[in-house]
């Protein structure tokens, strides 16, 4: 078992398409894994398994637009935390917070209500929203 993880438990989420060799590799490293779907991940199943098998009641999702969009599309986001910093990026392909996933049903808009706004030392803002129920 690895001892350089500072006490953190790593859990890898996989589809059932993963090779037996890779599963053996994870077991050798002492890394837990769960299956989240046959070919595509179903994040509702993933969250249910994390709760049932590892007693995880709360997740911090720090994904990119695709993973964020997938969780949003499955109704798994109940709070939104945004950091707005005084920086402009003029790149032609800006990153987005939520990306639609090709082949999946288009998500409906999700409404949040303002929970708090905090001004940061660098002039940025930390804005928190809760799911509007």
Q: Read off the pLDDT of residues 72-92 as tens digits, 9 standing for 90 and up.
A: 989 999 999 999 999 888 888
Number of domains in the chain: 2
Same domain, residue pair 43 and 67: no
Among candidate residues 39, 59, 79, the one where a domain is terminated? 59
Predicted local confidence at residue 116, as pLDDT = 98
36: number of Cβ within 10 Å: 20
Chain position carrying tokens 């209500």:
113
- pLDDT tens digits, 22-74: 999 999 999 999 999 999 899 999 999 999 999 999 999 998 998 999 999 89
CATH number at residue 79: 3.40.430.10
- pLDDT tens digits, 105-116: 666 789 999 999
pLDDT higher than 70, residue 104? no
Q: Which domain holds residue 41?
A: 1-59
Same domain, residue pair 39 and 98: no
Tokens of 130: 């809760």
- pLDDT tens digits, 123-132: 999 999 999 9
Same domain, residue pair 94 and 47: no
Q: What's the first-to-final CA gap in the chain, in angstroms?
A: 44
Which residues sit opposite 116 in a β-bridge? Answer: 128
Same domain, residue pair 39 and 89: no
Give the pLDDT mean for 93-116.
83
Same domain, residue pair 45 and 1: yes
């Amino acid at each position: 078992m690895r001892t350089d993880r500072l006490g953190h438990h790593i859990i890898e989420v996989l589809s059932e398409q993963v090779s037996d060799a890779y599963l053996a590799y994870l077991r050798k490293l002492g890394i837990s894994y769960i299956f989240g779907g046959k070919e595509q991940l179903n994040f509702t199943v993933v969250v249910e398994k994390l709760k049932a098998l590892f007693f995880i009641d709360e997740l911090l999702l720090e994904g990119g637009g695709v993973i964020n969009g997938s969780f949003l599309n499955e109704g798994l986001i109940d709070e939104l935390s945004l950091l707005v910093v005084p920086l402009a990026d003029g790149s032609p392909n800006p990153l987005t917070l939520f990306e639609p996933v090709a082949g999946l049903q288009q998500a409906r808009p999700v409404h949040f209500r303002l929970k708090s706004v905090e001004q940061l030392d660098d002039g940025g803002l930390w804005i928190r929203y809760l799911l509007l129920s």
